[in-house]
Structure formats: structure tokens, C-alpha cells
Homo-oligomer: A and B are copies of this chain.
């Protein structure tokens, strides 16, 4: 399994923030996390602690359950990706 939770979570958090028309600065300020760290989380470069995840959910006004379902859907999609056949490649 090559898909990482922190990558999927970062994508979901960024998407939710953009949908809510909030800037990194808005969320960083209300969740009391540095802008750089929040950006690293959104890019999947850092793991968010459970406490920080709660603070971000509160800043986004989205329940934790909704965020996790969004991440679960991404995980499903990633797991179901079938690589396209490469023309000329030998079958495995």
C-alpha cells in the first residue's frame, strides 16, 4: 500500500479550506498553527497530531467525521487505480 494517510488528509484539508474560501493565513491563525506547518500538512509532508487535526477541523468548521470520510474516499480511489497498459510492454 503506497498511498499515505498524510497525503490524502492534506489534500482533503486543502480542498475543504479552499471550498470555505479561507486562506492558509485564516486557518493558521484560528487553529494557532504556523502558516508553514499548516502548509506542510496540506502538502502531506508532515503528520498532523490529533490535537492539531481537531484545531484545523474547528477552524474549517467541518466535523472530524466528515474530514475522515473525505480521506476514506480518496483512499478507495487510490486503491482502485488500475495502471493503464503500456503499449508494447510484456504482460506480467
B residues in contact with A76, CB < 8 Å:
63, 65
**A16 sits at the interface (CB 8 A):** no
**A92 sits at the interface (CB 8 A):** no
* Dominant secondary structure at the A interface: helix
Which chain A residues numbered 1 to 26 have a C-beta less than 8 Å away from chain B? 1-7
B residues in contact with A72, CB < 8 Å:
64-66, 68-69, 72
Q: Number of A interface residues, CB 8 Å?
A: 27
B residues in contact with A51, CB < 8 Å:
4
Chain A residues at the B interface, C-beta cutoff of 8 Å? 1-7, 47, 49-51, 53-54, 57-58, 63-66, 68-69, 71-73, 75-76, 79
Other than the known A2-B54, A64-B72, A68-B75, what 19 A-B pairs have Cβ atoms closer than 8 Å? A1-B54, A1-B57, A1-B64, A3-B54, A3-B64, A4-B51, A5-B50, A5-B53, A5-B54, A47-B47, A47-B49, A47-B50, A63-B75, A63-B79, A64-B79, A65-B72, A65-B76, A68-B69, A69-B72
